[in-house]
Amino acid sequence: MEEKVKTALESVRPSLQADGGDVEFVSVSSDGKVSVKLTGACCGCPMATMTLKNGIESYLKKEVPEVSAVVGV
């Protein structure tokens, strides 16, 4: 599952990078919880939580059904 998540994150990265931010894969647990780190302009952005939940989490759940949640670290 880790490779599927990493591949899906690569599809999300260009959108974040266009705004000066980025996302880094940290880990995935056995229950499907994916940990990521937002960097660059995303770090500390007031919209970061929305990006994480409505953007990254939604996309990952669609692409990798085993994903149960995405959390920022």
pLDDT tens digit sequence for 38-50: 999 888 888 888 9
Query: What is the pLDDT at residue 6?
Result: 96
Residues of the chain short of pLDDT 50, as ranges, are none
Query: What is the pLDDT at residue 43?
Result: 84
**Strands in the chain per DSSP E:** 21-28, 33-40, 69-72
Domains of the chain: 2-72 (3.30.300.130)
Side by side, the strands of the sheet bearing 33-40 are 21-28, 33-40, 69-72
